[in-house]
Chains A and B, each alone.
Chain A
Amino acid sequence: MIGNMPFFVSMILVGLGLWTMMTRRNLIKLAIGLVLVESGVNLFLVSLGYVRGGVAPIYTFAPEGVPTEIPMVMPTPQALTLTAIVIGMATTALLLAFVVVIYRHRGTLDAGKIRELRG
């Protein structure tokens, strides 16, 4: 049960993010919601890759003295997470840049007031 905690936590984070995105009207908070979802997904990926007692995937072969029944951890999830973090960084930066531009034009961050393109 306790081993599954990271999965629950990551799903709670995703849920909180979605909740934020659906209920908040402030553009910055919308972006925060998106980042919360992203963190949840990244946490999910990292916890997928964890193997109790496994050898960290920084060696080509398991180091001397480690019993052979201890598994080497597959580095794929970590690599995925790193990529996802970098991509998330880029998308968040672009999103916030748009928020800045919108604020300069409209002088407000309230999504309800600035939807010129509705309909």
Chain B
Amino acid sequence: MNLATHVPILAIAVPLLGAFALPLLAKVHRSLRDLWVLLVGAFTVAMLVLLAVQVFTGGILVYTLGAGTPGDTVPEGFPIRIMLVVDGMGAFMGLIAALVGIAGLAYALQYLEEEKGKTLALTLMLLLWAGMLGLKLTGDLFNFFVFFEITSVAACGLIGYRVWESRPPEAAFKTMVMYTLGGLLILLAVGILYGEYGALNLAYLSAQIGQGPLDQIALGLLLGGLLMKAGSVPMHMWAPDAYGEADPSTAIVLVANTQAALYGLFRIVFTLYGGAGSPAVGGLVTALGALTVIVAVLMAVLQTDLGRLIAYGAVSQIGYMLLGAGVGMATLGAAAGGEAGFGLVALQGGVFHMMNDAACIGLLFLCVGAVVRATGARDLRALGGLGHSLPGVSGLFLLGSLALAGIPPLNGFASKLMIYQAAFRLSPILTALAVLASILLLAVFVRAFQGVFLGPRRPLGGTAAVPTGMWLAMGLLAVVVVAFGLVPDLMVRHVVAPAAEALWTGREAYLVAVLGG
């Protein structure tokens, strides 16, 4: 069997199988379970990297499930089978998932405690990973809903599995209500589109779709459902609770999961609707993005809990991505008229910021995990002077904070600059708000850094050494933070540009790849 042709489905199937086999292997022996997690993780990452290489060099990859050959997409002139369609954007999201997934798993293996549901949490993490990858690679609207729900159930299980504490189940309940409602809105929209066009295949629907009232209603429902899961203001209330209460290894996967919802949003607006009604939708997304940035940063100022502070930072970064993509959507219609330049740059900035955010927010969450593991506390008022006992962690926390606030030459700066420049062309107010929010964010994180790591030693000194797996996970993300900041051009040219291009002008290619010329 030629493995290379089956890469897309293996990237989903392996973590899914891995998740369900894991509790059984844990029954045999714990070290077998840990080995299995590493094997599944490494294999999935290899598949995702291979997939990215294939897509970036050879164009869109279509994999039809249940067909004699994977390329047999339209057996009788109609795309009846389920298929996976991976274009530049999907492959890019796959890379983000690979980075975050492997870092999260390596960290979780050492951070989680055996008596406190470690096996369960690892199972759910693999399941969440599989769902996320399915969401990013599928080319079928109903499968999109199914994977959306898989991630919802797995994510909420992960947030709330620590039932002996009072706060995680509450956060999980809140999150579950929002996720499920969002999923149902999407299902309703899928139903409407099916009733109208009699198909669920994204490319087929995209070729048929019109501008009628039903299409508009479906678009509204899809936007609502996906924005709910993305944690945009005013549907953001679940996000800080979820990120703040989950284990740090879970929190970074949750951030990537949120980005998967954003990916869905981009896919719907750019590929399914082809920018129909894009000035209005773009304006809405831009406004929500700006609002999210400001509201989340203002809320971050008030926090006294380290985990929640970073959680609000994570919500604000979603705002930057929405802002970048929103500016892109708003100008997509005008792109034919020759002023494509800045809309595309904004979209590239938004897409690039996904990767950068996954790395720097992830690094911060993992640093908090190390602090919690050493001291057992997260309250900013109780912590202090940890720089003495955890010098490495404090250095990485500072690195992550500076990257998040967009200080050159770290990666956050590279993508934020693209967003600032492009948003300025649409409206200088947007850029002013975004820069202001960044400065506030810097202030918040410098205060947190100073409070937690600087100053004299406190009773909550923390003497436990940080284990190797956690160092490896943090080191991996730190390398990404620094490397992408030093050579952003390379990243933008070879990875980000094809991804943004796939959304911006790739609709035709997407349709041709699935439906044939």
Contacts and interface: CB of A to CB of B under 8 A. Distances in A.
Contacts of A117: 167, 170-171, 174, 241, 244-245
A76 B146 contact: no
Interface string B297-309: 0010010000000
Nearest to A114: B170
A98 B176 contact: yes
Given A45-B191, A90-B153, A98 B169 contact: yes
A12 interface: no
Classify chain B: how many residues form its interface, as a range: 35 or more
B184 A102 contact: no
A52 interface: no
B177 A95 contact: yes
B184 A98 contact: no
A14 B185 CA distance: 10
A102 B173 contact: yes
B170 A77 contact: no
Interface of A is mostly: helix
Interface string A76-119: 11001001100100110011001101100110000000111101
B251 interface: no
Nearest to A35: B180
B32 interface: no
A34 B187 contact: no
Contacts, number: 89
Contacts of B171: 117
Interface stretch (B63-71, B193-201, B255-263, B371-379): B193-201
A59 B169 CA distance: 46
Contacts of B357: none
B188 A14 contact: yes
B172 interface: yes
A41 B169 CA distance: 27
Interface in A10-40: 14, 21, 27, 30, 34, 37-38
A101 B195 contact: no
Interface of B is mostly: helix
Given A80-B142, A117-B170, A119-B302, A95 B241 contact: no
B163 interface: yes
Given A37-B184, A91-B176, A95-B177, A116 B167 contact: yes
B160 interface: yes
Interface residues of A, number: 33
Which of B177, B183, B302 counts the most chain A CB atoms within 10 A?
Answer: B177
A41 B149 CA distance: 15
Contacts of B190: 80
B305 to A, nearest CB: 10
A2 to B, nearest CB: 18
A81 to B, nearest CB: 9
Contact of A77 (B146, B149, B163, B194): B194
A104 to B, nearest CB: 8
Contacts of A102: 166, 169-170, 173
B181 interface: yes
B156 A94 contact: yes
Given A27-B173, A94-B176, A84 B181 contact: no
B152 interface: yes
B149 A105 contact: no
B153 A94 contact: yes
B313 interface: no
B157 interface: yes
A80 B192 CA distance: 13
A74 B198 contact: yes
Nearest to A31: B177
A119 B157 contact: no
Contacts of A101: 160, 163, 169
Interface of B: 142, 145-146, 149, 152-153, 156-157, 160, 163, 166-167, 169-174, 176-177, 180-181, 183-184, 187-188, 190-191, 194-195, 198, 200, 241, 244-245, 299, 302
Given A21-B177, A115-B170, 20 more contacts: A21-B181, A34-B177, A34-B184, A38-B184, A41-B187, A41-B191, A44-B191, A74-B198, A87-B149, A87-B153, A90-B149, A91-B153, A98-B176, A99-B173, A102-B166, A102-B170, A114-B170, A117-B244, A117-B245, A119-B302
